[in-house]
Amino acid sequence: MRVQTREPMLTRCGRIWAVWAAFALATPTLAPLALATVTLTNHVTPALAQADKTDPLPSWNEGPRKSAIVAFVQETTDKGSPKFVPLEQRIATFDMDGTLWIEHPMYTQVVYCLDRVKAIVKHRPHLKDIEPFKTVLSSNHEAIFKLGWHELDKIVEATLSGMSVKEFDVEVSHWLETARHPRFKRPYTDLIYQPMLEVLRYFRANGFKTYIVTGSGQDFVRVFAEKTYGIPPEQVIGSAGETKYVYRKNGEPVLIKEPKLVLNDNNAGKPESIHLVIGRRPHAAFGNSSGDRQMLEYTGAGDGARLMMLVLHDDAEREYAYGPADGLPESKVGTFPQSLYDEAKQRGWSVIHMKTDWKRVFSFEK
C-alpha cells in the first residue's frame, strides 16, 4: 500500500485535471436537471430477462470473447474439471470507469467535484473571491485549464473533505439523482454497460465474489455500487482519503473526511490494495486502461485457471472511440496505449472490442 501525506487528495483526480479543457469545451453547462436514480433492476429489460434464461450473456455477440467468459465460468465451477476453483477462491475484480460505466468525456467524480464548487461557496461565501474557486465559478474554460496543480488541489480538498462520511453519502446520492451526462442527457447510473452487468450477474450466479477495484474515490463509489452493480460497499476498493473519528457537541461519534490520501488505488496500487483488502489473488480481472495493467498482470501470475480482459472503446456511434491503441484517437481519459494492447496479445489476455463484441452498450438502446 502506498501511504501518502500531503499529496493531492485523489491522485487520479489530480492527474486528470490536466484534460479538463476537453470536457469543458464539449459541455457548455454543467448544471444538472432533476432525474430519478436508476437502480439495477431498471437496467434489465423484459427481452433481456427472457433471454437470460437460456443465454447468460444476451447482450454479447457470439465470438471468442463471449466464448472465453462462458468457458472460464464452466471450467472453474465444474468439480470434474482440472481447472476447477474452490468456492472460497472464486474472486473476480473489475475496474469501474470505462469498464463498468462511461468515463468520457470526463471521469464522473471530477464532474462531481466541479459541480460541488457552487455548493461549497454557498456555505463558505468568502471563497467566491478566492482562487481557484473564483475561476471555476466564472465558467471561463480557458482560465480553468490554466490553473496549476496547487490551485486544483484546493478544489479537490474542498469538495471531498470537511464533512462526515454520512453527509458525504447524502450529497453524492443527491448529485446522482440530479446530474445528467452532457451527451446522453441521462443520469450517470443509467450509463453502465449492459454486457458487463450480465458478466457480473453470471459470475455471482456461479459462486464468484465480484469486487470493484477502481482509481475513483472509494467512498464515492460505495454510495451507488450496490444499487447499480449489485456489489455491496465492503466489496468496493478505491482510492481512499483519511477519516478522523470525532464527537459532535451532543456526543454523537462521527467519521470526518480529511484532505489526505492514504490509498492510491491505481496502477500498482490495485494489486497492492487487492492483497490488503481481499487477501486472495483474483482468478478473473477486467479493466480498460493502463491503470489496470498491474491488476491483470497480478491476476495472470497465479496458478490454475485465469481470465484477464480489457475493454477497448472503439464505438464512436454508440459510445466513444479512443485509445490510442489499434489506431484509435489518443485520449488522456481512460488511456489504452498500444503497449498495453501489445502486452495483451503477448500474455493471452482478451481485448473486448465494444463495436463488434457487444450487441448493445446500454440497456436503453433500441
Domains of the chain and any CATH numbers = 11-34+44-357 (3.40.50.1000)
CA distances, 171 to each of 113, 189, 219 (Å): 11, 15, 12
**Residue 68's pLDDT is what?**
98
pLDDT one-digit tens code per residue, 108-117 = 988 898 889 9
CB atoms inside a 10 Å sphere around CB 317: 8
pLDDT one-digit tens code per residue, 172-206 = 999 999 999 999 999 999 999 999 999 999 999 99
**Residue 40's pLDDT is what?**
36
**Residue 148's pLDDT is what?**
66
d(CA 17, CA 152): 7
pLDDT one-digit tens code per residue, 246-278 = 999 999 999 999 989 999 999 999 999 999 999
Asked whether the predicted pLDDT for residue 349 surpasses 90, the reply is yes
**Residue 149's pLDDT is what?**
56
CB atoms inside a 10 Å sphere around CB 353: 17
**Residue 114's pLDDT is what?**
82
**Residue 142's pLDDT is what?**
77
**Residue 10's pLDDT is what?**
44
Positive or negative CA dihedral for 151, 96, 319, 183?
Answer: negative
pTM (predicted TM-score):
0.85
355, three cell numbers? 463495436
Asked whether the predicted pLDDT for residue 12 surpasses 60, the reply is no
Residues 42 and 49: beta-carbon distance below 8 Å: no
**Residue 123's pLDDT is what?**
83
